[in-house]
Amino acid sequence: MRAESPFCLPDAAQFIVVLHTFQFTVPYRSTLVRFVDQLLMMPFYLTHMIEEEFHVVVKFASNYKDPGLTRYGRLTLESRNLVWSRVYLRFHAQLSNIRSWMYYWPISTFLTMVSFFFVCTHIFLLIMFIRFLRRKRR
Could you list the mean pLDDT of each consecutive 10-residue stretch along the chain, which spans 138 residues? 48 59 65 84 81 64 58 61 62 71 84 95 96 88
Domain boundaries, the chain: 7-94, 105-138
Q: pLDDT at position 100, please? A: 76
Q: What angle do CA 1, 59, 75 make, to 5 degrees?
A: 40
Q: pLDDT at position 4, please? A: 45
pTM: 0.35
User: 18: burial class by Cβ within 10 Å (0-12, 13-18, 19+)?
Assistant: middle
Q: pLDDT at position 3, please? A: 41
